């Protein structure tokens, strides 16, 4: 299997990663090397094998629906690129 340049550009778009014009070919070559390695999986018959998503086959714990955190908005927003009046600022999305 190998990815076309269009596919590389498409997944970069899905991943919200800007791909500089000259980078697509180099990225394609390295990704295709990695997928060459991954393709080795297809040689094995896994019919009827139950997928294993996690080392622990446990049900997720539920916690009580109770307040457990204090308000630390100022501390958390101190590391944000841009805030105002307790809000995160981003480019306008609604005209």
Partner 1 sequence: MIESSLKDIAAALRDKKVSAVELATESLSRIEAGNARINAFVTIDRDGALAAAKAADERLAAGTAGPLTGIPLAHKDVFCTEGVLTTCGSKMLSNFVSPYDAHVVSLLKAAGAVMVGKTNMDEFAMGSSNENSHFGPTRNPWNTDKVPGGSSGGSAAAVAARMVPIATGTDTGGSIRQPASLCGITGIKPTYGRVSRYGMIAYASSLDQGGAFGYSAEDCALLLSAMAGHDPRDSTSLEQGAEDFGRDLAKPLAGLRVGLPKEFFAEGMSDDVRAAVDAAIAEYRNLGATTVEVSLPNARLAIPAYYVIAPAEASSNLSRFDGVRYGHRAADYGDLNDMYCKSRAEGFGGEVKRRILVGTYVLSHGYYDAYYIKAQKLRRLIANDFAAAFQLCDVIAGPVSPTVAFGIGEKSDDPVQMYLSDIYTIAVNLAGLPGLSHPAGFGAGGLPVGLQLIGNYFGEARLLNAAHQYQQHTDWHTRAPAGV
Q: Which of 21, 22, 51, 85 binds partner 1 (CB under 8 A)?
A: 51
Q: Which two tokens stand for residue 26?
A: 């180099």
Residue 87 interacting with partner 1 (CB under 8 A): no
46 vs 85, which CB is nearer to partner 1? 46
* Shortest distance (Å) from residue 36 CB to partner 1: 7
Q: Contacts by 5-12 with C-beta closer than 8 Å and gap 24+?
A: none
Contact call for residue 80 and partner 1 (CB under 8 A)? yes
**Total binding residues for partner 1 by CB under 8 A?**
51
**Nearest-5° angle of CA 18, CA 24, CA 30?**
115
């Amino acid at each position: 299997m190998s990815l076309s340049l269009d596919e590389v550009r498409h997944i970069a778009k899905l991943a919200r990663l800007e791909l500089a014009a000259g980078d697509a070919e180099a990225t394609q070559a390295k990704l295709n090397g990695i997928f060459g390695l991954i393709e080795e999986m297809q040689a094995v018959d896994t019919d009827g094998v139950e997928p294993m998503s996690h080392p622990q086959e446990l049900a997720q714990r539920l916690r009580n629906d109770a307040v457990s955190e204090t308000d630390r908005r100022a501390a958390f927003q101190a590391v944000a690129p841009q805030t105002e009046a307790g809000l995160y600022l981003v480019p306008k999305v609604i005209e």
